[in-house]
Structure 1
Amino acid sequence: MAQAGNAELIDDFEQFFRNYYDAEIKELAQRYPGEQRSLFVDFDDVHRYNPDLADDYLAQPEQLRQYAEEALRLYDLPIDVSLGRAHVRIRNLPETETPEIREIRSQHMNRLVAVRGIVRKATDVRPKVEEAAFECQLCGTLTRVPQSTGDFQEPHECQGCERQGPFRVNFDQSEFIDSQKLRIQESPEGLRGGETPQAIDIHIEDDITGEVTPGDHVSAVGVLRLEQQGSDQDKSPVFDFYMDGMSVEIDEEQFEDMDITEEDKAEIVRLSQRDDIYDTMVDSIAPSIFGYDQEKLSMMLQLFSGVTKHLPDGSRIRGDLHMLLIGDPGTGKSQMLSYIQNIAPRSVYTSGKGSSSAGLTAAAVRDDFGDGDQWSLEAGALVLADQGIAAVDELDKMAPDDRSAMHEALEQQKISVSKAGINATLKSRCSLLGAANPKYGRFDQYEPIGEQIDLEPALISRFDLIFTVTDQPDEEKDANLAEHILTTNYAGELTTQRAEMNSTDVSAAEIEEMTESVDPAIDADLLRKYIAYAKQNCHPRMTEAAREAIQDFYVDLRSKGVDEDAPVPVTARQLEALVRLAEASARIRLSDTVSREDAERIIKITRDSLQDIGVDPETGEFDADIVEAGRSKSQRDRIKNIKALIGDVEEEYDDGAPIDVVLERAEDIGMDESQAEHEIEKLKQKGEVYEPKTDHLRTT
C-alpha cells in the first residue's frame, strides 16, 4: 500500500511540475550538470496546486523531497539528459513557518522551517564523502558504504575474503559532494531591549555552497535536526539544533522585518505634509534631553541618509552620513546615541573601551565551528550594521590602532580582511554616529578645539558633521534645563507610583499632562516605519536652485583661502557632505526633489558645525586644516617661526640656545612668553627640539 502511496505522490509531483515548472525544468536540463544542478520551487506554488501536499512537505520534508527528485528524474524531457543527481529546493516559506531563531523549539524538530538572519561565520567549501569505496588490501575487493550519519562508517568485514581489513579508501570510486557550514545570527533590527542575539548552524551542500559571505542578510530554508552535546565519553541528555539547509537566499530587501500597513502609509504621508515636520522630528528624538535642536535634526538627517549613487564606470558614491558628537561630560551624548539606536530600523551599539578593531570590522577565528582546524571569518559590529546605523560611544577611549580600522569602513563602506590566509571584502554600508570626550575630559576654551580632540585627523575628516557640546554656565539656560530635568523625573515618578502603588492621590489626567511634555512627538514604532518607508521609496534629485545654493556656499567659503597666507576653509569632502545632507532633508518630506530650502537648511547646519570646530580661535576664520590636519594654519606658522628662532639663537651660543633668550626674542615674532613656552614644550614632546643641557635647546 505504501508503495502505491509513493507512486501516487511521485505522479502528483510530476503533474505539479508539468503545470508550474515545465519551462524551468527544460532550462535546467540544458544547463545540467555544469551550470545548474537545482530546481528552485516556490512553496506558494505547491500550496496553490495541492494544500495537502504542501502540508505534508512541511511535516515530512525528507521523504517528500525524495519523491519530488524522483519525479524530476522521471520527467519527460525533449532532450536526452538524465537529471540523476538534480535537487529540488523549496524556498519562500510562509511567515507561519518562519520562526525567529530564539523561538525554535522541540516541536519544530524534523520539520521544514525558514530562518532569517545575518551570516556571522562561514567555513570554506570542503568536499564531503557521500559514499565511500573501501578497497581490501589483502584481496582487492571494493566495498561501498553510504556515509549518511555524522561519523565516518567503515565496513565490518571484506565481502570477498571475509577478513576484517585492513581497508584503504579508493577516492576514484568514492562519491563526494561540496559542503559548507554557516552560522546565522538574528538580525540586529529584530532585537529590542538589548537581548543577546542567538544563532543557529546551517549545513549546506552541493551547488548552493560558497554563495554567501559573513555580513550578508539571508533567508535559509531547511530541516531542523538535533545533535547531542558533550563528548563521546560524557554524553549529555541535552541536544543542540542545527539545520540541514535546502536553500539559502541573500535578502536584498533592506528592512524585511518592517511590516508597514496601508494605515501606516497613510499616516506617514500625512505626517510628511505637515509644515512643521522638521520640528516634529526634532521633538521625537530623546525628548527627555533638553535643547540640542541642531544636533537632533542632524541625527534625524543621518537616519534618513542621502542617496547612494552608482556611476556608469562602476564607482559608487556613498549616501550614508557620518556624525561625531564631542562634548563635556554630562551633556547627554550617550543617551542620545542610545535613543537613536532604539529608533533606527537596523542598528548596532558599541562602546569604545569594549571594542577591538577585530570586533568592529571582522575577526579570523579558529574554534569548534567547522572541523576546528580551519580558520573562519566572523563579522564585527560595522558589518552587522550594514545598511543601518553603527553607534560607537567613547570613541576617544579606543586604542588608536583599533580606531584606524574604521577608516576604510567609513569612506569606502567596505572592510578588507587579510588574516590567517583569508582575503575577503565584507560590506559595511552603514552610517556611523560617534561620541567622544575632549582630550582633557572637558573643553578648554583657550585651546583650539582641533588640539583637544584626541582623534586622528584622518578619521575626523571622514565625518560629515562634527558638533561640539560645551557645558557653559548660563543662568536662563540653566533654569530651563533644571525645570526640564525635574519635570521629566516627576513624570517618571508619577508613572512608577501609578504602576507600583494603588493608593496614589494623583489623577490619571494629571499624570497624562505631566508625561505629555516628555512624550516623543512621533511614536518610536511609527518613526521607525517612516524611516524605512522613506529609504525604500524616496530617491530625491537636486533641483537647479539647490545645486546653485550649495555651489555658492562652497565656493564662497573656499574663496577665503585664495590669499597665500590665508587658511583653506573647507575641502571637497565637505561638498559631498552637503549634497548628502540636502538629499536626507528632502527625504524627511518624502520629496523627490531637493529644493533650495533643503539646501539652505543644511548650509545653516554645516555652518554651525564648522563654527564649532573649524574656526581658528586666534584669527576667527574658518580653517579646514584644524579638522584635516589637526592644526590650524596660524599654529603651523607659529611652530615654524619658533623653530626658526631657536635655530638662529643656537648659532650664537656653543651650548645650544638658552631658553630665556628664546623667550625674550619671541616677542619679535609676535608671540607672548606663555605661548612660546607652550610651543617649545610641544616641540620637545615631538622630538623636534631637545635639551643638550639644562635650559638650553637645540633643533634636531
Structure 2
Amino acid sequence: MASGKALLKKYIKDNHSEEIEKLKSQNKQCKVSIDYESLNQFLIEQSGKDFWKHQIYEFIDQMEEIFNTGNVALKFMNVPERDNLHDLDATSNNKWISTRAMIKNITDVRVDLKQACYICRECGTINLVNINDPNQAEVIPKFCKNNQCAGTSKSMFFDKDSSIYRNYRLLKLEEPLELRGGGSTREFKAIVLDYLASPFHNLKVGDVVNVTGIFKIEPRKVKGRSDGHEFIIHIHNITPVDDVFEDSRISEEDVKEIINLSKQDNIFELLWHSLAPEVYGYDMIKKGLILQLFEGNRPLNDSFKSSMMDRWTIHVLLIGDPGIGKSQLIQSMKMRAPKNITISGTNTSQAGLTVSTVKDELTGTWTMEAGATVLADTGVLCIDEYDKLSPSAQKSLNEPMEQSSVSSAKAGLVQVMSARTSILAGANPKYSKFDPYKLYRDQLDIPESNLSRFDLIFVLTDEVDKEKDSKLADALLNKDFILDESEILDIDLFKKYITWMKANCFPVLSKDAKILLREFYVNTRKTALETSDGKPITPRDLKALERLTIARAKCEYRQEATITDAIEAIDIYKEALSGLGLTLATAGALHGIHSQDELNVISDMENMIKSNIAIEGMPLSAESLRHLEMECGMLCHEKGINREGIFDIAYSNVKKSL
C-alpha cells in the first residue's frame, strides 16, 4: 500500500503540476490551493485511509522541495475545523490544528533570512544554511563543507546578495465573538511566512479567519531577553471566512427545524414576543429590533468595499426616561444576537469604539488594535448610555454607520477595516425625562450628523395616565403578561434561526412593494413641500424603508418582499417618527433639513447681521447681538417656528462668508 507521502505526491502531480509550472514562470510569490475534500476522497479511494490517518500535513513542505516550487506555496484549503482555540494548551504542543479565529492585531510585512549564504574565504566554497522560521537564531557554519579546506566559522563571509529572503508577519489571534463562552477569550501569537505574509495576501484587523498550522511551545523573548515560554501558531494557511454567518454548529436537524418554523403563520409574532418577554408593551419597538437582527441584503459575494456596495445594516436608537425598560430591551438583544458586543458610553473612548494604535510588547512595534465597532463586524454593537459618549466619539461612528468601514491613519499606519456592524444605542434625554412638547434635538446630547444615520429612533416615555398605569400595574404585579415558555423561542434556536436566515435568505422587492415605496416617498416629499413648515424625507429614509421591508420578508424565509412587508415597514417607521413629535411632512428634520419658513427667517437674519456689520464692523457688540437675537425671536414667532438655533445658523453663515 502506498504511503501518505507517495499518495500526496501523485495527487499533486496529477492535479496541480501544470498550475505550479505556470505560476513559477511568473516569478512572483503566489500559492496553489489543494482542496481538502478532493484530496481526502482520493486518499480514501486509493488506500482506505483519510487525510488525518495519513497525517498528510506532515509532508506538504517536502512537496515544495520535490516539485521545486520556488516562490509558489502549496496550501491546503477548506480543511474542516477540528479544534477550538480556547481549548489549546500545553498538551497540544506540536499538534497540527484547524480552527477559526479573529485577528486582533497584525504587524506590517517584515523580511528575514530564509537561506543564508556563506562563502569560505579560504577556498571560495559556498555554504548554505536553511532557516526554518524568523525566531531561529542565525547559525554560522562551524566548518567549510569542502573536505579539502580547513576553513572554520571565522573564515566564513556572509554574502547578503546571494542569500534568499522571505516575508513574515506576526499576528495576535483570539476567538471570534460568536464562539466565546461566557464572554471570555484567549490570545495567541501566530506567524505567517512567504506568500501569506506578502502584500498580495490581504489580512485585516477584525477579520474572522480559518487557520491551519502547527501549534508549538517556544522560548519567549522580551526585548531580546529570554522570558519563559509561550504558545505560538506556525500558520500553514489562513483564509478569511467567506460566509460571515456560517455557523458549523447548525446541524441538518437544526436546518429542518428552522425551515419548519419559518412556515408557521405567526412566526414574526413569535419572534418579537420572544424578545424581552419580561418587558410589558413596546410592541412596535420590539418589531423594529427584530428587523434589525435580520438586516437587509448583504452582497452575495460579501465584498468588503466596492463602488456599488449598499449599506444593509439597520441602526436603531432608543431614547427613554430612566427605569422604563430601555436597558432591558438592549440586554435582551445582547442575549439573542448571534454575534454582539455590549459597551457603556460612560467609559468608552473614540479609540475604543473604532481603532487604537498600541505598542505591542511582544514585537516592540506599533500595531493597530480593533475597537468595538470592528470587532462586532457582521453583528450588533449594543451601546447603553449612548448620550454619555463624547461628541467626537459619536461622530467617529458616522463612517461605520454609513460606509460599513473604519479608516485610520495613526503612528504612520494607514488601514481601512471592515465594520459591517448594526448599532443599537440607548440614550437618556438631557433632563432625564423626555418632553413631547419640546423639540427632540434640544433634549438630546447627540450630534445631528450622527442622529440622521439611525434608521429607526424610538422614544420610550413614562406618561402619567390613570387607565394605562392601572393596566401596567396589574400586569406587572400579576405577571400575566409574561408568556409561557412554550409561547416563546428558545434562545439557542432563536440565534440559529437568525444566523441561518441571514446566510441563506436574500429577498428581492416585488413589483408592488417597489411601487408602494416609490409612491410613499414621492407623495410624502410632495406633501412636505406644499406646506411652509414642511421638511421632506430624503433618499436615506427610502433606503431605510427598503432594508426594513427586506428584513420583514426574511423573518418568514420568503424570497420576495411583498407589499404587506412594505406596509408593515412603513407603519414601524411612522411609529418611530411620532414618538419624536414628527410627522411624515416634517421627518426631514432628522437630516438637518429646514422648512421654507425657517430658510426665509435665516435669510432675513443674515441680511440684518450684514447691515449691522457694515455699520459697526466685526466683531459686533454684545448689545447689537442681543438686539439681533430679539429680532430673530420675533420673526420666528410670526412664522410660528421654533427659534432655537436659527440665529446661530445665520450668524455662522455670515462669518463664513466674510
TM-score of Structure 1 vs Structure 2, range by shorter chain: 0.7 to 0.9
Asked if structure 2 preserves the Cα contact closer than 8 Å seen for 1:287 and 1:518, the reply is no
Asked if structure 1 preserves the Cα contact closer than 8 Å seen for 2:536 and 2:586, the reply is yes
Deviation at 1:548, TM superposition (A): 1.9
Deviation at 1:258, TM superposition (A): 4.5
Deviation at 1:458, TM superposition (A): 1.3
| Secondary structure at the counterpart of residue 558 of structure 2 | coil
Asked if structure 2 preserves the Cα contact closer than 8 Å seen for 1:467 and 1:613, the reply is yes
| Secondary structure at the counterpart of residue 418 of structure 1 | strand
Deviation at 1:598, TM superposition (A): 0.8
Change over 3 Å in CA distance of 1:595–1:44 after alignment to 2: same
- In the alignment, which of 357, 367, 385 is matched to residue 364 of structure 1? 357
Deviation at 1:464, TM superposition (A): 1.2
Asked if structure 1 preserves the Cα contact closer than 8 Å seen for 2:524 and 2:584, the reply is no
Deviation at 1:580, TM superposition (A): 1.0
Residue-by-residue CA offset, 1:200-246 (whole Å, 9 max, x unaligned): 22211112224222222211110111123465998566x32111111
Partner amino acid, structure 2, of 1:603 = I
Asked if structure 2 preserves the Cα contact closer than 8 Å seen for 1:221 and 1:246, the reply is yes
Could you tell me which residue of structure 2 aligns to residue 445 of structure 1? 436
- Is 162-171 or 655-664 further displaced after alignment? 655-664
| Secondary structure at the counterpart of residue 90 of structure 1 | strand
Could you tell me which residue of structure 2 aligns to residue 40 of structure 1? 34
After superposition, residues 342-381 of structure 1 pair within 5 angstroms as: 342-369=335-362, 371-373=363-365, 375-381=366-372
> 1:12, 1:642 → 2: CA distance?
85
> 1:317, 1:164 → 2: CA distance?
63
Asked if structure 2 preserves the Cα contact closer than 8 Å seen for 1:287 and 1:519, the reply is no
Residues 1:118 and 2:81 are matched in the alignment: no
> 1:172, 1:651 → 2: CA distance?
74
Deviation at 1:410, TM superposition (A): 1.2
| Secondary structure at the counterpart of residue 18 of structure 1 | helix
After superposition, residues 1-80 of structure 1 pair within 5 angstroms as: 12-18=4-10, 22-32=14-24, 34=27, 36-38=30-32, 40-42=34-36, 44-45=40-41, 48=44, 49-50=46-47, 54-55=51-52, 58=55, 61-62=57-58, 64-69=59-64, 72-73=66-67
- Is 450-459 or 49-58 further displaced after alignment? 49-58
Residue-by-residue CA offset, 1:297-329 (whole Å, 9 max, x unaligned): 001111111123589995112222111111111
> 2:98, 2:392 → 1: CA distance?
40
Partner amino acid, structure 2, of 1:419 = K
Residues 1:108 and 2:82 are matched in the alignment: no
- Is 403-412 or 641-650 further displaced after alignment? 641-650
> 2:252, 2:4 → 1: CA distance?
39
Asked if structure 2 preserves the Cα contact closer than 8 Å seen for 1:121 and 1:183, the reply is yes
Asked if structure 1 preserves the Cα contact closer than 8 Å seen for 2:31 and 2:75, the reply is no
| Gaps in structure 2 of 5+ consecutive residues | none
Change over 3 Å in CA distance of 1:526–1:47 after alignment to 2: farther
Residues 1:457 and 2:448 are matched in the alignment: yes
> 1:92, 1:664 → 2: CA distance?
71
Could you tell me which residue of structure 2 aligns to residue 130 of structure 1? 114
Could you tell me which residue of structure 1 aligns to residue 240 of structure 2? 250
Asked if structure 2 preserves the Cα contact closer than 8 Å seen for 1:90 and 1:247, the reply is yes
- Is 524-533 or 154-163 further displaced after alignment? 154-163
> 1:37, 1:358 → 2: CA distance?
36
Residues 1:198 and 2:186 are matched in the alignment: yes
Number of residue pairs matched by the alignment: 634
Partner amino acid, structure 2, of 1:323 = V
| Secondary structure at the counterpart of residue 213 of structure 1 | coil
Aligned alpha-carbon RMSD (Å): 3.9
Could you tell me which residue of structure 1 aligns to residue 586 of structure 2? 623
Residue-by-residue CA offset, 1:45-98 (whole Å, 9 max, x unaligned): 46524465744554x954x3455445x43xxxxxxxx44675543344444xx2
Q: Percent identity?
A: 27
Deviation at 1:387, TM superposition (A): 1.9
Change over 3 Å in CA distance of 1:51–1:110 after alignment to 2: farther
> 1:156, 1:225 → 2: CA distance?
27
Structure label with greater radius of gyration: 1
- In the alignment, which of 426, 435, 441 is matched to residue 417 of structure 2? 426
Could you tell me which residue of structure 2 aligns to residue 609 of structure 1? 576
Deviation at 1:288, TM superposition (A): 1.0
Deviation at 1:104, TM superposition (A): 0.6
Could you tell me which residue of structure 2 aligns to residue 272 of structure 1? 262
Residues 1:99 and 2:71 are matched in the alignment: no
Asked if structure 2 preserves the Cα contact closer than 8 Å seen for 1:364 and 1:377, the reply is yes
Deviation at 1:365, TM superposition (A): 2.6
| Secondary structure at the counterpart of residue 316 of structure 1 | coil
Deviation at 1:625, TM superposition (A): 4.4
Change over 3 Å in CA distance of 1:268–1:565 after alignment to 2: same
Partner amino acid, structure 2, of 1:203 = I
- Is 622-631 or 208-217 further displaced after alignment? 622-631
Deviation at 1:271, TM superposition (A): 2.6
Deviation at 1:524, TM superposition (A): 1.3
Residues 1:402 and 2:378 are matched in the alignment: no
TM-score (norm 1): 0.80
Residues 1:90 and 2:79 are matched in the alignment: no
> 1:420, 1:652 → 2: CA distance?
50
Asked if structure 2 preserves the Cα contact closer than 8 Å seen for 1:610 and 1:622, the reply is no
> 1:292, 1:265 → 2: CA distance?
31
- Is 473-482 or 573-582 further displaced after alignment? 473-482
Deviation at 1:164, TM superposition (A): 6.3
Could you tell me which residue of structure 2 aligns to residue 532 of structure 1? 499
> 1:355, 1:57 → 2: CA distance?
51
| Secondary structure at the counterpart of residue 530 of structure 2 | coil
> 1:170, 1:588 → 2: CA distance?
66
Asked if structure 2 preserves the Cα contact closer than 8 Å seen for 1:124 and 1:180, the reply is yes
Change over 3 Å in CA distance of 1:587–1:135 after alignment to 2: same
Could you tell me which residue of structure 2 aligns to residue 178 of structure 1? 167
> 2:442, 2:594 → 1: CA distance?
7
Partner amino acid, structure 2, of 1:442 = K
Partner amino acid, structure 2, of 1:559 = K
- Is 376-385 or 138-147 further displaced after alignment? 138-147
Change over 3 Å in CA distance of 1:465–1:41 after alignment to 2: closer
- In the alignment, which of 268, 275, 281 is matched to residue 285 of structure 1? 275
Partner amino acid, structure 2, of 1:341 = K
Partner amino acid, structure 2, of 1:44 = N
Change over 3 Å in CA distance of 1:173–1:571 after alignment to 2: same
Asked if structure 2 preserves the Cα contact closer than 8 Å seen for 1:28 and 1:39, the reply is no
> 1:134, 1:652 → 2: CA distance?
85
- In the alignment, which of 155, 158, 162 is matched to residue 140 of structure 2? 155
- Is 145-154 or 158-167 further displaced after alignment? 158-167
| Secondary structure at the counterpart of residue 130 of structure 1 | strand
> 1:392, 1:457 → 2: CA distance?
18
Residue-by-residue CA offset, 1:536-570 (whole Å, 9 max, x unaligned): 22211222221222222222211122237332231
Change over 3 Å in CA distance of 1:455–1:552 after alignment to 2: same
Asked if structure 2 preserves the Cα contact closer than 8 Å seen for 1:614 and 1:626, the reply is no
Deviation at 1:632, TM superposition (A): 6.7
Asked if structure 2 preserves the Cα contact closer than 8 Å seen for 1:158 and 1:165, the reply is no
After superposition, residues 486-497 of structure 1 pair within 5 angstroms as: 486=477
Could you tell me which residue of structure 2 aligns to residue 521 of structure 1? 488
| Gaps in structure 1 of 5+ consecutive residues | 1-7, 74-81, 489-512, 690-699
Residues 1:412 and 2:403 are matched in the alignment: yes
> 1:85, 1:649 → 2: CA distance?
74
| Secondary structure at the counterpart of residue 462 of structure 2 | coil
Partner amino acid, structure 1, of 2:490 = D
Deviation at 1:586, TM superposition (A): 0.9
Change over 3 Å in CA distance of 1:161–1:404 after alignment to 2: farther
After superposition, residues 138-153 of structure 1 pair within 5 angstroms as: 143-148=127-132, 150-153=135-138
Asked if structure 2 preserves the Cα contact closer than 8 Å seen for 1:614 and 1:627, the reply is no
After superposition, residues 562-577 of structure 1 pair within 5 angstroms as: 562-563=529-530, 565-577=532-544
Deviation at 1:428, TM superposition (A): 1.5
